[in-house]
Structure 1
Amino acid sequence: MPAPDDPLGPILNVPPPALTEAECLAAVAAHWGIDGRLEPLTSERDLNFRLRTGQGDFVLKVVNAAEDAGVTEFQTLALDHIAARDPGLPVPRAIRTRAGAASVLLEGGNRMRLLSWVEGVPMHRAAPSAALRRAMGTMAAGLTRALEGFDHPAARHVLQWDIKHASRLRPLLPAIADADLRALCTRWLDRFDTHVAPRLPGLPWQVVHADLNPHNVLTVPDDPARISGVLDFGDMVFTPRICDLAVAAAYQLDPADAESSIAQVAEGWASILPLSPDEAALLRDLTAIRMVTTLAITSHRAARQPGNAPYILRNFPGARAGLLALPCPD
């Protein structure tokens, strides 16, 4: 269990639920009336499967018992809002049970959800390109626009991945083994505290996806510069709108041409949601802070969950290379 003062709290420190496939299939049959077979999917804190059935494929999620039920409801209602606001956006749909419920409480405190399956090739397998970066920015802005006007009490839950909480990362920095990288992260957090955080209240705020990493975005198989889907709404929060662009840019950053790659993602975003002068001025900083967040959280969690370390650290090399390519202003 995490220490009481661990900034990650229980939700990012507990292991995923431990249910057998037979138990999961029995619950799906009982509540959704669907039979099929399961294929495991990776997850940071939940237990996920691809459910193959004669009625098509679905995503079966067993939500960690450490997650508040309100947060689960928040995610479901957000998907409903997107479907109503922009039904053409390629995101999952929440599948209700035969009783009309969006989730089912299981013995032991975990909740089970069923989502529609979205086809595509994970973006991390696609070749990077300027066209893909612009497409990522366009999709991110379209999704953010579709979430406009949506709110929920759980939207303000505290999740350390949320860039606005970057100041709370400092206790995690000792887990970064490379002393030079640790020092660079410290300098960026110093800059965040003095130059960035004071300006965040004046920006436009709303609910955003907040985790547009290449494992959560799908591309078209025969056209990797086109995006076919966005997955995993588990990190949604109410935060400055520009943070969603910064997250997307952090994962699209080309260390060989860092500034241009950020600009390409921003160009796609601005075609849907024009940036305010303050948003544009803070984008580079917030992009760097997202990479600091990735380095700090993944280092901290991998040390505590060595069995899941390969999955936890999958974005560490890219964040390290990207941050090294962005000099921190004095």
Structure 2
Amino acid sequence: MSDAVLTTPAPAVDPAEAAALLREHFGLAGEVTALAGERDRNFRLRTADGRAFVLKMAHPAEPAAVTNLQTAALIHIAARDRALPVPRVVPGLDGAVERVLPFADGRAMVVRLITYLDGEPLHSSTASPAQALALGRVLGRLDRALGDFAHGAAERDLLWDATRVTRMRRLLAYLPGEEERDLVARLIDRFEVEAAPVLDGLRRQLIHNDLNPHNVVVDPADHARIAGIIDFGDALAAPLVADLGTALAYQVEGGDDPLARVRPFVAGFAAECPLTAAEIAVLPHLILARMMLTVCVTHWRAGLAPDNRDYILRNNPGAWRGLRALAARPPAALAGDLRRALRD
């Protein structure tokens, strides 16, 4: 991903324009509402008969092949595991699943439509070991469904790639204080020595790469039932276990037992997608790597886009708590804890 995707805004589009596109290209009408997003323009449509959709307009700086990667992955998942709670791709009146359209400032964006998944956002739900177990199972099923997926744009250079966390050294200056900079610098150095050399020998495939609490919805009546996994915008080819590490970065708690939700999540994932010994050994490093990405990238971007600061920094406090909690324990000890959880 070029920095332009994160540092320059997409063309302004208002709900009336989105509604016109929906009528013209999809034959749909209803209430249109703008949705928050890191880089794209997104709108929710609710029709009079109760259906809901998301109209997605990809940032002009994002290559069309990368947008198509997301579309193709969703179509593939539907074919491999129809029961997985992920959005479905909706073709237009002409049967096309993507179209390139010009906008007012002269730039063009790839436009597509997917189903909207209703539910309670994970970040506002009641967390529990049962919820973590269920979410781990769903992510394991998702990665299993993507195991045989191939696409020319899957090997992409993405800032949000935990396996390349050493690149965050250039963003250390944006962290808020000397203690924070020293902590992240030390953990990056350790990752480079202990984790980076083994990554090339691990299983590799397309992964979701962004299972944060804003990309999961649960059943409002049962927070342990996963109702949806959304936003495949950061999907890329990487070691399979990096998907798990990224997701677990948002399950780490403060307090006496930071792994209380991590253990059932790993058990759920492994029940659907068994892990190798090498993957378990590197997993603590990848959890920490995602947290380091979160604090470095968000502090950098918040300074560039102050109007979107609250959205950009939404996962930042949890990442700092998790970094401090896990940094106090050696990665080998954390991996041993997870291995014991899988045996129990």
Fold equivalence (TM over 0.5): yes
CA contact (8 A) 1:166 1:293 kept: yes
CA distance in 1, matches of 2:247, 2:320: 16
Aligned-pair CA distance for 1:19: 1.0
When the two structures are superposed, what TM-score results if normalisation uses the length of structure 1? 0.95
Which of 12, 29, 41 is equivalent to 2:35? Answer: 41
Matches within 5 A, 1:22-171: 22-55=16-49, 56-107=51-102, 108-171=107-170
CA contact (8 A) 1:262 1:284 kept: no
2:250 match: 251
CA distance in 2, matches of 1:24, 1:39: 9
CA distance in 1, matches of 2:244, 2:58: 27
1:10 match: 4
CA distance in 2, matches of 1:290, 1:11: 20
Summarize deviations over 1:217-266 as a string: whole Å, max 9, x none.
01111111121110001000000000111111101111222234322211
Structure 1 unmatched ranges of 5 or more: 1-6
Aligned-pair CA distance for 1:34: 1.2
2:272 match: 272
Percent identical across equivalent pairs?
43
1:4 match: none
CA distance in 2, matches of 1:20, 1:219: 29
CA distance in 2, matches of 1:123, 1:12: 25
Aligned-pair CA distance for 1:22: 1.6
CA contact (8 A) 1:17 1:46 kept: no
- One-letter code of the match for 2:9? P
- One-letter code of the match for 1:280? I
CA contact (8 A) 1:122 1:219 kept: yes
- One-letter code of the match for 1:326? L
CA distance in 1, matches of 2:262, 2:269: 11
Summarize deviations over 1:2-44 as a string: whole Å, max 9, x none.
xxxxx96222222243112221111111111112221121110
- One-letter code of the match for 1:279? E
CA contact (8 A) 1:248 1:265 kept: no
Matches within 5 A, 1:142-291: 142-256=141-255, 257-291=257-291
Summarize deviations over 1:44-70 as a string: whole Å, max 9, x none.
001111111135110111111111100
1:316 match: 316
Summarize deviations over 1:106-157 as a string: whole Å, max 9, x none.
2121121111111211100111211111112111111101111001111111
Structure 2 unmatched ranges of 5 or more: 332-344
Most deviating of 258-267 and 295-304? 258-267
Aligned-pair CA distance for 1:189: 0.6
CA contact (8 A) 1:136 1:248 kept: no
CA contact (8 A) 1:94 1:116 kept: yes
CA contact (8 A) 2:163 2:289 kept: no
CA contact (8 A) 1:17 1:63 kept: no
CA contact (8 A) 1:176 1:296 kept: yes
SS state of the match for residue 326, structure 1? helix
CA distance in 2, matches of 1:72, 1:96: 15
SS state of the match for residue 287, structure 2? helix
- One-letter code of the match for 2:72? L
2:305 match: 305
- One-letter code of the match for 2:52? D
CA contact (8 A) 2:101 2:111 kept: yes
CA distance in 1, matches of 2:187, 2:85: 35
For these two proteins, the number of residue pairs brought into alignment is 324
- One-letter code of the match for 1:147? L
CA distance in 2, matches of 1:214, 1:93: 20
SS state of the match for residue 82, structure 2? coil
CA contact (8 A) 1:44 1:312 kept: yes
